[in-house]
Amino acid sequence: KYILAIESSCDDTSAAVLCNTKVLSNVVATQEIHKQYGGVVPELASRAHQQNIVPVVHQALAKANIDKKQLSAIAFTRGPGLMGSLLVGTSFAKSLALGLDIPLIEVNHMEAHILAHFIEDDAQTTPEFPFLAMTISGGHTQIVKVTDHFNMEVLGETLDDAVGEAFDKSAKLMGLPYPGGPLIDKYAKLGDATAFSFPKPKVDGLNFSFSGLKTSILYFLQRESQKNSDFVAENINDICASVQYTILEILMEKLQMAVDQTGITRIAIGGGVAANSGIRGRLRDAEENLGWQTFIPKFEYCTDNAAMIGIVGYLKFNKGEFTQQNIAAKARYAIGS
Ligand code: ATP
Ligand code: FE
């Protein structure tokens, strides 16, 4: 089966073609326009999707060397995400499916971040059920018990900011451009993680909180900059390493708690922050020291991409789970709903 997948939930326009579980093409157009505003501007994102979607879909088909007449179905991101952005992909997918007279398949973006592990690729292995998935992205931070492709239970999630936001907002406080997550990762590699310490939030159970960390970083930077106006520039590596260390400690503590509660030691991560080299290292350590089996998606399947939408499309196609033309985009769309 050939599935064309479309992803437009936030600020990346992406299209992919899959042949069953294999990715033939996965094209991502990243919107540079938001950089100057220090964050995603929804209205601009929606307009950029409109400009990008036709060329991106054309490129995906061309790279896969597939004619649109060969497609078996169109999968698209229904939500969660920015409404204006979702509308572009949803409308485009609906029209194309109607025009080609092939089935339409709606996909939950967060389930896709988890099911990206089922893409067949030499560079990644697929977890067996049941496993624990930790979704760490720009809008979400969740620990999910996955007993089947479509049987997922959220065990805990963030009460305020997502971990990606914690990275990006901390970076912004240091004067780094958006999105700052990858830059913190880069500078952290050169710094000392024990140089500065930040308090960890006290949150019961498997829930997370990141807004307090952001505030303590703000006060810390203000205080130090008053003493030395070049503090940030002179210590950027150490600050990044310390901030990243604190964030990773929070994530690993909750993972350990989830393992203790469920007895499940297969851990899969997904979402943009799964691209972070620090979390990748910590999970590899856990393999050696704690006997966990850990699963980390290939880099390009971590941040937003249509290939992950395509694999869910394929899995739903096999179950005969198609959707009707009257389907509407959903800005808030919980996992497993
Ligand atoms: P959601 O998936 O919750 O709807 P989103 O789609 O906007 O949110 P993703 O594209 O999955 O989010 O992830 C983007 C986030 O990942 C950004 O916050 C970005 O800073 C972060 N990120 C990407 N690479 C890294 C990295 N190497 N280290 C830390 N954070 C990173
Ligand atoms: Fe995402």
Per-residue pLDDT tens over the stretch 153-207: 999 999 999 999 999 999 999 999 999 999 999 999 999 999 999 999 999 999 9
Q: What are the backbone dihedrals phi and psi of residue 106, each rounded to the nearest 5 degrees, phi first? A: -90, 145
Mean pLDDT, to the nearest integer, of 68-94? 98
Q: What is the ipTM of this complex?
A: 0.98
List CB-based neighbours of ion ligand 2 within 5 Å: 137, 304
Atom of ligand 1 nearest to the CA of 171: 20
User: Can you give the pLDDT at residue 194?
Assistant: 98
Using a 6 Å cutoff on CB, does residue 235 contact ligand 1?
no
Q: What is the pLDDT of residues 22-74, one digit of tens each?
A: 999 999 998 888 888 888 889 999 999 999 999 999 999 999 999 999 999 99
* C-alpha of residue 333 to centroid of ligand 2, in Å: 13
Using a 6 Å cutoff on CB, does residue 303 contact ligand 1?
yes
Where does the pLDDT of residue 336 fall: very low under 50, low under 70, confident under 90, or very high at 90 and above? confident
Using a 6 Å cutoff on CB, does residue 106 contact ligand 1?
no
Coil/strand/helix, residue 167: helix
User: Can you give the pLDDT at residue 33?
Assistant: 86
Residue 127 has pLDDT above 90, yes or no: yes
* C-alpha of residue 60 to centroid of ligand 1, in Å: 23
User: Can you give the pLDDT at residue 38?
Assistant: 84
How far from each other are the two terminal CA atoms of the chain, in whole angstroms? 26
Mean pLDDT, to the nearest integer, of 98-118? 98
- Contact between 190 and 237 under an 8 Å Cβ cutoff? The reply is yes
CB-based contacts of 11: which residues, under 8 Å, 6+ apart? 30, 31, 34, 40, 45, 48, 85
* C-alpha of residue 320 to centroid of ligand 1, in Å: 31
Q: What are the backbone dihedrals phi and psi of residue 251, each rounded to the nearest 5 degrees, phi first? A: -65, -45
Residue 337 has pLDDT above 90, yes or no: no
Distance of CA 215 to CAs 172, 182, 201, Å?
A: 12, 21, 11
Using a 6 Å cutoff on CB, does residue 272 contact ligand 1?
yes
Residue 279 has pLDDT above 90, yes or no: yes
Distance of CA 185 to CAs 191, 215, 241, Å?
A: 10, 20, 8
Mean pLDDT, to the nearest integer, of 286-298? 97
Q: What percent of the chain has pLDDT over 70?
A: 100
Residue 292 has pLDDT above 90, yes or no: yes
* C-alpha of residue 182 to centroid of ligand 2, in Å: 15
Mean pLDDT of the chain: 97
Q: What is the pLDDT of residues 198-244, one digit of tens each?
A: 999 999 999 999 999 999 999 999 999 999 999 999 999 999 999 99
